[in-house]
Amino acid sequence: MKKNVFKWMAGLIALVLMSVLVAQLIKVPTFMLPSIYLVGMIIIALIVSSVIISGIVKLILKRTSFFTALCLVVSISCIFFIVRLYSPTLTIIVPRGYIGQVSLILSNVNKNILIVDSNGIGYINKRTFDKTYTKPIVLETNGTNISDQCVGFNPSTFWDQGSSLIASTNKNTDNEKIQFLSFEIVPKDKRGQKQYYSTDLPEVVDRTKLYKKK
């Protein structure tokens, strides 16, 4: 009786974790292909590899049922992918009435600066830069939520990742590189329509905050 309860609990946990993983995979940027292709490929690969590994586990631990071994392997695999694919949902504060490009600059700050200035500039650390792909929550300084006025890079990839060089005036030093994540805030009557705003980043960023490899 206890074995059956454990077996079905393992199955339920595996099912829940796989559902969480699918929900997370749908949000992952795919650039050209629809997200359903990414979900399908990873889930099929996960199931096939889990079946193979479970067969090996069953051979080693003969008392363990194949179903239980499969559920445990699937659960561990799902947890691994969920942790690896985690993306923070940023809350960004913009000036009231701001329209234009919002750029989060890769920087050496310990704590992200998500209250952007009048040029739409904020600063984020390396971990946030590498992990962020989900659409942010965007508020004006008075608390008004204007997330519905935000337009991303394309339908499957919200954040545009780019770079810009700051020319060095000293021949003996390299040009500084600005790396950033960006999106647009458009007028209410242009919701969902990309306007291709641009900001002259070398002129407006705080160079003392730019990321430098240690």
Which residue is listed with tokens 């080693």?
A: 60
91 against 28, higher pLDDT: 91
Phi and psi at residue 149, to the nearest 5°? -95, 5
pLDDT at 170: 60
Both tokens of 184, joined, read 């647009």
Give percent above pLDDT 70 in the chain. Answer: 92
pLDDT in tens, 46-79: 999 999 999 998 888 878 888 888 999 999 999 9
- If you average pLDDT over every residue of the chain, what do you get? 88
144-148, 154-158, 159-163: segment of lowest average pLDDT: 154-158
Eight-state DSSP code of residue 62: T
pLDDT at 24: 86
With 0.95 as the threshold, say if the pTM is over it. Answer: no
Would you list the domain boundaries of the chain?
A: 2-84, 91-209
Average pLDDT (173-195) is 88
pLDDT at 188: 92
pLDDT at 157: 83
Phi and psi at residue 200, to the nearest 5°? -80, 80
pLDDT at 1: 55
pLDDT at 104: 97
Which residue is listed with tokens 């999106």?
A: 183
Both tokens of 146, joined, read 């204007």
pLDDT at 35: 73
